[in-house]
A = this chain, B = another copy of it.
Amino acid sequence: MLEDKNTEKTSLAELGEFGLISHLTKHFKIYNSTTKKGIDDDCAVISAGGKETLVTTDLLIEGVHFDLSYMPLKHLGYKAVMVNLSDVYAMNAKAEQITVSLAVSNRFPLEALEELYAGIQLACDTYKIDLIGGDTTSSTKGMLISITAIGIADKEDIIYRNGAKATDLIVVSGDLGGAYLGLQVLEREKQVYQVNPKNQPDLDAYTYIIERQLKPEARKDIPELLKELGVKPTSMIDISDGLSSELFHICTQSKVGCKIYEDKLPLDPQVISTCEEFNIDSTMVALSGGEDYELLFTVPISEFDKIKGNPNLSIIGHMTEENQGMNLVTRANQEIALKAQGWNSFS
């Protein structure tokens, strides 16, 4: 039945990931009063009578999300943890626990898994996270990692995606597009290597962007910094799929529009030079390149003085009324509509 290529069937690529999840889960009910937040944020929120507990989960699959020909296993383990911690920090919460489930084919010896777990452990030690459970099993092909992260926060501290107001400032941490460009460099070197295995790649000019791809850091420091500055964002999300896509989530859930400025997008010099080398538009990379794991948030305009000039933060625009849509103001002062370009693993 499953192999039936009947034309009445609907292919998954048509829906994309977000469409698929909302389609499949739209009829589910909430039964328990402990469930404070369900599917549509970086984490779910549960209250068991004390502080709130936050839960997020991510699946990483060889050949879809990572390529072991240039991703060392230790980095993979580290990154798999970061991807999940980033979701907890995006709720303004403290990440405390993870579970790790792993499926591997017999082609992997124990020593390979030790490398992977060395990376997971480095992440746990660096971010003070407890590994509390998991499941390890064989797969028929390749490697798959499923991580669930659990965090904690006072109820009043949690920041959702739906609190942005029409005049709020839009702020991002760090810089954008590096992880995507790092991947382009690694893919190119892989192809060179396949043609001539003796070629020794010189990657010195790309160290920053390759590190952004292979060893990203979740921004644990940003919620701490915001607390120090005395700023509470009205909405927050982590940038995993790309700036446009994340802005789309905040705008949709907060029922507002947004206007961002091309000349305000934070770009590392290595991103700019590599974009020139690859002949790619750096603005496109900043808008649509995923995996930076920076935080995107909105703050009331009254907080401008606390944010401006901070080397970790860039004000890139402001929210607008919903009917004005999502727009980018170019360097030439033209206004163009932004498209949400979330990453679709099914296409």
**A interface with B by C-beta (< 8 Å):** 2-3, 9-15, 17, 20-21, 23-25, 27-32, 34-35, 37-39, 43-44, 46-53, 55-59, 61-65, 68, 96-97, 99, 101-104, 106-114, 117, 121, 124-125, 128-142, 144, 146, 148, 150, 152, 345-346
Contact = CB atoms under 8 A, between A and B. Distances in A.
Contacts of A117: 24-25
Contacts of A102: 59
A21 B2 CA distance: 34
B150 A10 contact: no
B134 A21 contact: yes
Contacts of A27: 121
A96 B34 CA distance: 8
A101 to B, nearest CB: 4
Nearest to A38: B132
Copies in the complex: 2
A335 B144 CA distance: 44
Contact of A61 (B2, B62, B103): B103
A276 to B, nearest CB: 33
Contact of A132 (B44, B111, B113, B133): B44
Overall SS of chain A's interface = mixed
Contacts of A138: 12, 61, 64, 345-346
Contact of A131 (B9, B28, B58): B28
A109 B2 CA distance: 8
Nearest to A65: B137
A94 to B, nearest CB: 9
A53 B152 CA distance: 12
Given A64-B138, A345-B138, A133 B57 contact: yes
Contact of A48 (B56, B59, B152): B152
Contact of A137 (B104, B110, B131, B345): B345
A136 B17 contact: yes
A35 B133 contact: no
A6 to B, nearest CB: 8
A136 B32 contact: no
Given A113-B24, A132-B38, A141-B140, A101 B31 contact: no
